Structures are given as structure tokens and as C-alpha cells.
Chains A and B, each alone.
Chain A
Amino acid sequence: MTELFYSGAVVAVIATLLVIVQTNVVHALIYLVLSLLAVAVVFFSVGAPFVAILEAIVYAGAIMVLFLFVVMMLNLGQRSRDQEKNWLPARSWLVPSVLAAVLLMQLTASFPAAQTQIVEVGARAVSELLFGPYVLAVELASFLLLAGLVSAYHIAKK
């Protein structure tokens, strides 16, 4: 499982970097899907298969499809690619990279000792938590989604 974790993590990091540097929007989206699937593998390897598969269904399978759907309607061509290139020149990497490196060093220094004991949390355990102690949060989230749905309907009607 450790190998699975590290391979998933490496793929996720590389794919996410490629999402940032890609100038072609469609390619960037494909790498984003890959990154989400790699994160799903990471979840799976640390004992959360239910969360992993939800990550694949909801993020990689549904939300990213909608992103791609919108990109299809926009008809982006060479011009947007050039624009993207102008927006990301080499020198704008400098300061964020230094800051991120500092942050990374602090994080690695303050990591707790690695846990090797993996306990699998299945679908049943997750549901018992969601509809037991956290039922209020689930209800609030559904309110939010309903509000979003109603406002989308309203805007579409206009």
C-alpha cells in the first residue's frame, strides 16, 4: 500500500504542475482529471475506498465533465493559447517558488511521525457518521445545493 500511496502522490503532483503550465485549456483539463484520479488513489491507499470512489465519481466524473462542456462551447483557439503564454512568463515563477519552498520546508520539519497502521473505513462507517453526528452538516450542505439549483434555474429562465 505504501508504493501505491507514493506512486499516486507523485502522479498527482506532476499532473497538477502540468495543469498550471499548460497553455491549451483542454490539455490542462485532462491533466486536472488525471490529478483528481491520482488523489483518489491516494485516498484508497490510506484506507478510504468510499471517499476515493466518490472523488472519482463526483470530481473527475461529473464536475470536470461540466468544465469540459463549457470549454467546448467557448471555441478557444490559438489566440487564447498565446494569451495564456503571455500571462505566465518565466520571471513570475521566481517569488512564488521561493515562498512555496519555504512553506514546504516548514511542513516537512513539523510533520508528525508517519503512521503505519491503516484502518479501512468503508461505506457503512462513513454513512453512519454522516447521518449520525454530522447530520446537521449534511442538511446544511443540501440547503446550499438547493439554493444554487434554484438560482441557476432563475438565471436560465431570464
Chain B
Amino acid sequence: MQWEVGSALNIASILAAVIVIAAMLIWVERRLLGFWQDRLGPNRVGPFGLLQVVADMIKIFTKEDWIPPFADRFSFVLAPTIIMIVVLLSFSVVPFAPGVGIVDSNIGVLFVLAMASLGAYSVMLGGLSSDNKYALLGSLRAAAQMVSYEVFMGISLLGVVALAGSFNLREIVLAQEGGWFVVPQFIGFIIFLIAGVAESHRLPFDIPEAEQEICAGYHTEYSGMKFGMFFVGEYLGLVLISSLITVLFFGGWQGPLLPPLVWFFIKASCFIAFFILLRAAIPRPRYDQLMSYGWLFLLPLSLINLLITGVVILSANQM
């Protein structure tokens, strides 16, 4: 039972590319938001403001990394590392192109879901260890939100898994040679999209860190690079969700003319841009609206979707 692991070069370049893209997204997001809100955004440092990321990084690395004396040191230091680790580990099962990818795991989809559920510890421990009212409120919200949306995230993927007949993400891509799964699994795609935004708690589902209500939520007490890890972890989550949507519903690297890696990049970038547009366009729902929308609407919908998919597959097999 030995699983093929990609070469060291493969692993190192995927790791580097993913982290650099996540860091660059900080600039991309601000520029795009500026564009959509009819203003300029950061354009001073370097050409088009491209070096803004470098400036931000220098600033965040040299800031004082302060641990509040009343905080629980052990969990306070542990919390930001968890989000980075679990999101980066999730990338290990994502197939970027033929031959590019770290592990072709037979439990790829489940592995991603497991890592997503472990990510909840990051925000919970961060808020709990800070010993701060706002942080605690934020992490309570985050915990409830992440635990509920995980459920629909998992169920919405089962349709795709049933169609492809495998948990292996590479086999799911190969199964889409005849047509993208977004067509037969459109409802699953929409649910996964919504659950993905909620899992990475991005606007409009950024209730755990809603500035107007509870300061910065669970990372109120964090500063310096520990805050930076939460921040980059969120962008890494955004890249991960976009890559997963590309792999699961939009045929991964497949496409005419252009090389596979370019196709993957184009598709994933479209979703990243879409998520940023979502942030610019939609206001934040109230906490109880978010929860009841999830449990009373998305859960039944995803179950019905799974049921119909199962019936269709079974009747197609019998004919």
C-alpha cells in the first residue's frame, strides 16, 4: 500500500507557488475592489503597486509579535499555525495538471473535508485563548458556522463522487473528459460554492470577524506574524476553494490548445475573481439568518440533490 508521492521539486514548487499566489492575492483583492468601487486601490509601490505585497510583508515581519500576558500561551501560539498547516496539507491531494500534484490519494475528497474540519480548531483556539470578549464571541460564531457548513459541503460533493465513482481527485478530473460535472451537478456546485465561502469565512460570510460588531473577532488580540498567518491562511483557503471547484466541477486542467497548467490557472483565477466580486457586491447576513439558511434550506436541498443523483445513476446502470 505505497502511494506515489511527487518529487521533491514538485512539492517545493507547488508549496512556493501556492504561498506566493496567496500573498499576491492581498494586492489583487485590493486592486480589484478598487476597480469595482470606482477608485484606484494601492498603486504607489512599484509598477501598478505590485510591490505593495513586499512592503506589507516587510511591515508584518518586523512588527512586534506581542502575546498578551492574560492569554493562554500554548493555545495562543498553536492557533494560527493550525490554519496554515491544514490548508497547505489540503493542497497535497489537489491534481494541478498531469504529472503535477503531490499525492494521488484514494481518499482525496475525504482528506480535504477532514482538513477543513480541523481548520475549525484554529479560529476556536485563537478566540478562546485570547481571553477577550470579542474574540470569544467571534470564535463561537466561527465554530457554529464552520461546523454547520461542513455538513453541506460534504453532502454536496457526494453527487460528484457518485458520478465519478471515486474519491480520488485525479480520477474525478479524468471522469470529466466527456463533460464538466457542473452541468449534471449544478445544485451541488452552488451549494459547494456557498459552503466554501462560509468555510473560509470570507465576506459576505465573515460573521466571525465582522469589524462593525465584534472588532476583528477571533484575531482581535493577534499582532505581527501570528496575525499574518491568519490573514494568509484565509487567502490560502480562497485559493484552495477555487482550485477544488475547478477540479470537482469544471474539468480541472482539461481544455483545448493551451497547456494544462495554464487552463487550471485560468479557471481557478476566474473563481478567485468571482469571490472577490462577491465581497464587493453582497452585504453580510445576520448570524441567525446564516444558520437558518444553512440548516433549513441548504441541507434539505443537498440531500434531495444527492437522492436524485443516486436515482438517475442507478436507473442509467440498469438500462
Contact = CB atoms under 8 A, between A and B. Distances in A.
A72 B139 contact: yes
Interface stretch (A58-66, A86-94, A104-112, A142-150): A58-66
B121 A33 contact: yes
Interface stretch (B46-54, B55-63, B71-79, B206-214): B71-79
Name the interface size band of chain B. 20 to 34
Contact of B1 (A1, A24, A62, A73): A1
Interface string B30-58: 00000000000000000000000000000
Contacts of A71: 128
Q: Which of A50, A56, A61, A73 has the most CB of B within 10 A?
A: A61
Nearest to B72: A26
B113 interface: yes
Nearest to B140: A72
A73 B124 CA distance: 12
Interface in A26-59: 26-27, 30, 33, 47, 49-50, 52-54, 56-57
A65 B121 contact: yes
Contact of A69 (B72, B116, B129, B140): B140
A62 B110 CA distance: 14
Contacts of B129: 26
Interface residues of A, number: 28
Given A120-B1, A123-B167, A68 B121 contact: yes
A1 B2 CA distance: 8
B250 to A, nearest CB: 24
A57 B113 contact: yes
Given A24-B72, A26-B129, A69-B140, A60 B124 contact: no
A57 B106 contact: no
A118 interface: yes
Contact of A30 (B78, B111, B139, B147): B78
Interface string B106-123: 110011011011101100
A49 B107 contact: yes
Q: Which of A1, A50, A57, A60 has the most CB of B within 10 A?
A: A57
A135 B72 CA distance: 47
Contacts of B143: 65, 68-69, 72
A24 B73 CA distance: 12
B113 A62 contact: no
Contact of B124 (A49, A52, A68, A120): A68
Given A26-B125, A27-B75, A65-B120, A57 B114 contact: yes
Contacts of A123: 106-107, 110, 167
14 contacts: A27-B74, A30-B74, A30-B121, A52-B107, A54-B110, A57-B114, A60-B114, A60-B118, A61-B118, A65-B124, A65-B143, A65-B146, A72-B143, A118-B1
9 smallest CB-CB distances across A and B, nearest first, come from A61-B117, A56-B114, A53-B110, A120-B1, A57-B114, A53-B107, A49-B107, A69-B143, A65-B120
